[in-house]
Amino acid sequence: MLRNIIFKLFILLATTNLVGQKTKINYFKNKQISYQRWYGTDNLKDSVKVFYKTGALDEVFYYDDKERFHGRCLKYTNDGKVMTEWTFHHGKLIYRKDLNLVFTSKNKKYILQNVANVNKINSLIIENPRNQKLYYSRASYRSRLNNLILAENDLIRFKEILQQNTSNQSDYSRRTSLSNCYDKLASVYSKLGHKELSLYYHFEAYLQLPVNGRLNYNLGANFSFYEYPDLALHYLYKTTAQSPKHTFANWGLAITHLNLKNYSKALNHINVCFNNEETLHKLTTGASDKGIRATKGVISYHLKEYKQARKNLCDAVKIKKDNSYAMFYLSKLYQEKGNKLKAKKWLKKAEENGYSKIHGSSTATNNNKITLTSNIITNTNQTAIILKNYRDTNFLYTIHDLKGNLITSSTSNLSKINVASLQNGLYKLNIKDNNNSSSLPFIIDIQDQQLLKTLRTEKRKHKKRKKQK
């Protein structure tokens, strides 16, 4: 116990913002710090801390003077135990040990399999450090284990090599590699609470391979998470148009319709997911409180199907014992049924497991919110977006990309904003009104039909070659 206390004090002192150091801080939606990076006077990375949505410390990594991992680095459980420990020497992994792995009753075998795969690839990289595909594979498994800083490092390395090397790859193969890399990076940044980079890379992945249903789903799911329902529904329904029983897309549609209070539609979509529940446990970390059982429980609660709601919410807590979302709705359910004692008990458990910090309140606003009549431009005939619920029709605006770069600034004409000159991409329309400001996302997604035809043909050939192997 004393040793752990001394070590945590050392971590705190070692990462204190010294004179001359710079820090960059990012936040989750609930305003908790998601991660913090420290930079030396030379502007090179010195250290980084990652946090859980509850505010608890998640990861700590240190760097040498060439921004390579160095020293003892740690990942913690949400309750402060050391989960995984690494020792690096100027970028070289010397030691890795798992002490307190976290898994649910449903995904234990997959978590252990991911750990085994990471250890195997670490050995292969020692033998063949120039095999860049190994770094991508390792990043995939690290991401599933929520080893986020290590996954980010592998993916950035792989991305830079892909962008530099254009030889020995067909256009389709190169697009596939880039889209996979961007997609994984987007997932890492989403878990790190970096909204802009997460959306940016998800959209870049989609642009590389728009015929891929998984990329449509991931983009739509991210829009759902950040509460852009119109954008979410557009891309999630594009996925189910190709694959009506797509498990992840139907899960995303269920959550989106639940947030929009379209409970019957939400129920239809969540029911599809139960036909392939095992896939969700295999390909996710099990960290989400809003798994399909909790989601169905909440939908059933709103539909006043209390028996079904209680069963699914209780199942969700059995699978994930710290599921504060399911606990909170069990409290509401018992309150509705008049059982104040059980309602109080479940509310207490929800708060003990961080419900307010993790989930908080929705950012949704009333119907008078400033919006766009259409926030998706999909053909060349659409040359303008139109603002509604704003008091002026001629106003100053700026348009930025998701990296914060100013693209254009001008004055609207009868609430119309000309976007004819913009390339495919995800943008933010910014309007400032006295001390208030509004930032509205919109997308230019005008696909080259000939390119889509070519990509679909290449996709079919790729599937055929894969079957033949």
**What would you report as the CA-atom Rg of the chain, rounded to the nearest whole angstrom?**
24
Higher pLDDT, 152 or 469: 152
Q: Are strands 22-27 and 33-39 parallel, antiparallel or unpaired?
A: antiparallel
Query: pLDDT value at position 10?
Result: 44
Query: pLDDT value at position 98?
Result: 94
* pLDDT exceeds cutoff 70 at 255: yes
What percent of the chain has a predicted confidence (pLDDT) above 70?
90
pLDDT per position as a tens digit, 167-215: 656 788 889 999 999 999 999 999 999 999 999 999 999 999 998 888 9
* pLDDT exceeds cutoff 60 at 16: no
Query: pLDDT value at position 167?
Result: 61
Higher pLDDT, 272 or 12: 272
pLDDT per position as a tens digit, 412-455: 888 889 899 999 999 999 987 666 678 889 999 998 888 888 88
Exposure class string for 281-305: b at 16+ Cβ within 10 A, else e? beebbbbbbbbbbbbbbbbbbbeeb
**Cβ count within 10 A of residue 122:** 13
Query: pLDDT value at position 435?
Result: 65
Instruction: Give the Å distances, CA to CA, from 220 to 42, 73, 234, 245, 371.
Output: 39, 34, 7, 16, 19
* pLDDT exceeds cutoff 60 at 306: yes
Of the candidates 336, 344, 296, 299, the one whose C-alpha atom is nearest the C-alpha of residue 319 is 296
Instruction: Give the Å distances, CA to CA, from 131 to 115, 180, 237.
Output: 20, 17, 38
Q: Tell me the DSSP string of 400-430.
A: EETT--EEEEEE-BTTEEE-TTPPSEEEEEE
Answer yes or no: are the C-beta atoms of 2 and 25 closer than 8 Å. no
Higher pLDDT, 249 or 456: 249
First to last CA, the chain: 55
DSSP class of residue 385 equals E
Q: Domain ranges for the chain, please list them.
A: 1-100, 288-364, 371-450
Query: How much is the mean pLDDT over the chain?
Result: 87
Please name the residues in contact with 225: beta carbons below 8 A apart, sequence gap of 6 or more: 190
CATH (one of 1.25.40.10, 1.10.1530.10, 2.70.98.10, 3.80.30.20) for 288-364 = 1.25.40.10
Query: pLDDT value at position 168?
Result: 57
Residues 132-138, mean pLDDT to the nearest whole number: 92
CATH (one of 1.10.150.120, 1.10.3210.10, 3.90.930.1, 3.50.50.60) for 1-100 = 3.90.930.1
* pLDDT exceeds cutoff 80 at 348: yes
Query: pLDDT value at position 90?
Result: 96
Query: pLDDT value at position 287?
Result: 65
Of the candidates 198, 192, 234, the one whose C-alpha atom is nearest the C-alpha of residue 216 is 234
pTM: 0.83
Higher pLDDT, 21 or 174: 174
Query: pLDDT value at position 172?
Result: 86
Residues 14-19, mean pLDDT to the nearest whole number: 45
Query: pLDDT value at position 434?
Result: 63
DSSP class of residue 275 equals G
Crossing angle, helix 213-225 and helix 229-242, to 10 degrees?
160
* pLDDT exceeds cutoff 70 at 311: yes
Residues 370-382, mean pLDDT to the nearest whole number: 85
* pLDDT exceeds cutoff 70 at 20: no
CATH number of 371-450: 2.60.40.3580
Q: ∠ CA(182), CA(215), CA(131), 5° rounding?
A: 40
**Cβ count within 10 A of residue 35:** 22
